[in-house]
Each structure stands twice: as structure tokens, then as C-alpha cells.
Amino acid sequence: MSTKRIKSALVSVFHKDGLDEIIKLLHSEGVQLISTGGTQQFIESLGIPCTAVESLTGYPSILGGRVKTLHPKIFGGILGRRELEKDQQQMAEYEIPEIDLVIVDLYPFEQTVASGACEADIIEKIDIGGISLIRGAAKNFNDVVIVASKRQYAPLHEILKSKGAETTLEERRFFAREAFAVSSSYDSAIFNYFDKDDRSAFRQANDDQMSLRYGENPHQKGAFYGNFNDMLEQIHGKEISYNNLLDINAAVELINDFAGETTFAILKHNNACGLASRPTLAEAWDAALAGDPVSAFGGVLIANANVDKATAEKVNEIFFEVIIAPSYDDDALEVLKQKKNRIILIQKSTEMPEKIFRSVLNGVLVQERDSKVETAEELQVVTKAAPKESEIEDMLFANKIVKHSKSNAIVLAKDKQLIASGVGQTSRVDSLRHAIEKAGNFGFSLEGSVMASDAFFPFPDCVQIAHEAGVTAVVHPGGSIRDKESVDYCDANGVAMVTTGFRHFKH
């Protein structure tokens, strides 16, 4: 039979919030409840009778609670196949009662690790009985309903409320799928704890899925796995797309490096096309937009300060897809919400995962996130001419931008304003020439500007071209066997050059 009636239920959970209504509905349907420990006490506190696991198995909870439900009378009742005569004969022989519903959740292992608890406490939060119940009940989904976390309380509650203690095969299969997602995620977290930085295998699990209209292009399917709402809250606009997410990610990573300075950035295809730091956000917007008002069309905007009405009115003059900020004034939102499809996001967290990964060939590349932000103290002056204080500030500013630009990347900046950049070119010279051309197109003088490169200069050609355009200071990682040629050119022409020792390739 596809439809099965729930006659008995084993309930053993760590989190009890939201459970009371389910217990009451099960009781009203005449379902026999089986439980142990704190869950049993919780059920009985509702005035509802409950059979103790210990009275069913004939064994008490032992080894400090490590062994409670691991017994043939429990697992036989879960795994016994109702349609198989041999299973039914053995269950009758050994007086094993059928268990039709299992509600269980797992000890909070990840939360315990995150709390900084000692290893002994962490190990005790590795669930054994719970994970076994989940896998056993999910395996026998033909006959048994498994609720593996409080996230599945809502769908079970809806079933009980709408049609009583009966489930279809399709519903039981849904719960089984969710249960295996819980168990695989749990085991991945435990493995990663033990593996630490050994990287002996790749295990990653994300339980939250955001459906997308399509992938990078309309003919490709796409989805996002992760809790988007932990970092950002969408308060207006259309459904976020795959490409929106790529730009949003690039924007968040970029703006995080400008903490402490009121900054506005405009991104297009994951690269900054405008960025400036100023005393006020409105001023920062004006300077960022001036850097490339053409590319700003249809871009993604991000700020690290509250958006007021004056800034919103300026921003509202152009078409853009997404705006991100930590907060907005109410009258600013009234202006920004005039376009119904415009995506408005509140950035709630600046914390990014420590590791990043991407699929390559038939596997996965994993690396640490590039969280390095150079400081003035780390800059090594390699030329006779030392940079002025204002040039040091601009070089640090430009170096943050070039770090988040697609290689080969060159950034030209002055007075904490992105004047122009050349990104994603196969030649560093091409990137520089492109940047110089863009600066000229928008009326910028490069006199007194600085240049940042994401990698070293293998030849002095870029330094020469930049100097002839007006650049007076250069920052790059250094490390080429021909660094001296670039330094010699700078010394002969009064250009200041500093090295950081850190390359920032980005593909």
C-alpha cells in the first residue's frame, strides 16, 4: 500500500521547541508514543502518556547516556518490512513492535565546535544513536516516516493537521531524502573537524538551497546552496540571479577591505569600475561614478555606510541592478524602491568563509581565502625616491582594488579615487594601456597618480608607459628576476616604487 497509517512513534530530540503541537496531534490520532530521557519528560509534562524506551528494551540508558536506543527491539521495529512475511514472523517471534514514525534530531556538534569547547565536550556531541535512527528509518521509507531535524517539523505538522496520521509513499520518500541530507551534512562536519588542515579529502555540505531562474545563461540550470540570509537580507526587488550572486559576492569581498573608510563601489562583471573613499557617502558616490559613468549602467552598487536620502537621490539617477549597504534611511528607501525590479540588500555580516573552492575538470580546487590587506609598515621602498604620504595612502587604496580585479590587472588611482583600471587582459601592458585610455576618455589627468599591479613587472615597459602618462608612484608584489630593470628606470626618472611581497592573482 502506498498510504500508511502511523500507529506508533519514537520521539527522541535535543531541540524541543515546536514539538508540542506535533505531540498533541499524534496523541489525538491515537498514536502510541515511545521516548526516553528529557524528551519523555517533556511529553509527559503535556499530560500525554508515553512508553519509556527502557521498558521496551529491558535495558536502562547506560554509559552516561551513550547507549539508549541501540537495541534490536528499536531498530527491528524501524527496519522491519511490513510487506515481507519473513520479517513479520521474526518480529512476532521476538516481540518487536512496529515503529511507524521516528522524530529525532542530532546533538549540536557544529555549534559545540564553534563555541570553542574542549575536545572531550566536542567528542560527546558526536551523535551515535540519533544518526543510526535516522539512517534506519530513512532506509525503510516504504513503511516509516523519518523526521530528522526540527526543520521538518513544519511539513509533518501540516500532514497531521490536514489529513491525520496517514502518509503517502511520496511524502515518506521526501522525508527520507531530507534525512539523508541531514546525516551527510553531519558526518561532513565531523570529518572536517578531524581532518582540520590536512585536506585528505573534500567534504562540503550546504543544507539551504536558493532556486534560481537559470545559471550563467538561460539555457543552463542553476542553484545556490548556502544560507544567503545569514549574510544579506533582500528587502526589495526581483528574484536574484546566478550572475547577480557572482557580482554580489565580488562586491562584498571588495568592500570588506575598506572597513573604517566611508566607501562606495560600483562593480560590473565582478570588477570594480568605480570606487572612492570620502568623508560622506554622497561624495564617495559622486567620485566613484565619475571613474566610469558608462560601465556603471546596469551595475552592482555597494556601500559600507548608511544610505541617506541625499545619496539615494543621486544613485537613483542611473539604472542599476543591485544596491547593497549596511542600512538605509526610510526616506532613502522610498526613493530606491521606485523601481520595482531593483534589488535592495542589507549586508548583515562581513564574515566570509575561510576556504573557497571551485569545480575544475572532474574535481574541486580548494584554497584559503585571500584575506591579506597590506599596511603602510609592510611596504618596502626599493627606489631612491621615497613615496609621499599621500602617495602611500593612494597605493594602499589602489592595491586593495587590484587585489579584487581579474588578472592581468592594473589600477590607476589618485586621492582615494579609482581613476581607471585594466582587467582580464592577456598582457599586463594591454591592461595598462586600456586603463590609460579609459582615464583619458573620462577627462582624468594622471599627473601625480599611482599605479598598482596584481603581479610583478617582468620588464620595465609598464613602469615607463605609466610614468610617461603621469604616474609618480608604483606598488607591486616584486619578485621578478628582472626587478632591477624596473627599479633602475624609476631611479633614472624620479618615480617611487614599493613592493609588498604579496601577489594577488584572481581568475
Radius of gyration of the chain (CA): 30
Q: Which of 7, 16, 24, 139 is catalytic?
A: 139
Task: Say how far apart CA 247 and CA 272 lie, in whole Å.
Answer: 10
* 3-class secondary-structure state, position 507: coil
Report which secondary-structure segment, H or E, holds 461: helix 461-469
Catalytic residue check, 157: no
Task: Say how far apart CA 336 and CA 209 lie, in whole Å.
Answer: 28
Torsional sign, CA 180, 182, 183, 184: positive
User: Nearest-CA neighbor of 423 among 308, 315, 295?
Assistant: 295
Catalytic residue check, 139: yes
Q: Which of 150, 157, 269, 339 is catalytic?
A: 269
User: Nearest-CA neighbor of 422 among 443, 401, 445, 449?
Assistant: 401
Three-point CA angle 263, 402, 289, nearest 5°: 40
Find the largest Cα–Cα distance for the chain.
97
> Cell numbers at residue 448, please?
601625480
> Cell numbers at residue 173, please?
520518500
Report which secondary-structure segment, H or E, holds 421: strand 417-422
Task: Say how far apart CA 322 and CA 309 lie, in whole Å.
Answer: 17
* 3-class secondary-structure state, position 241: coil
Place of cell 580585479: 405
Residue 198: count other Cβ atoms within 10 Å of its Cβ: 7
Show contacts of 181-185: CB within 8 Å, 24+ apart: 181/205, 181/207, 182/106, 182/134, 182/148, 182/149, 182/207, 183/131, 183/134, 183/135, 183/138, 183/148
Helices (H), 197-293: 228-231, 242-256, 281-291
* 3-class secondary-structure state, position 90: helix
Rounded to the nearest angstrom, the gap between the alpha carbon of residue 471 and the centroid of all alpha carbons in its chain is 39
Task: Say how far apart CA 474 and CA 489 lie, in whole Å.
Answer: 12
Show contacts of 482-487: CB within 8 Å, 24+ apart: 482/458, 483/382, 483/456, 483/457, 485/459, 485/460, 486/457, 486/459, 486/460, 487/382, 487/383
User: Nearest-CA neighbor of 179 among 139, 211, 214?
Assistant: 139
Residue positions annotated with a catalytic role: 139, 269
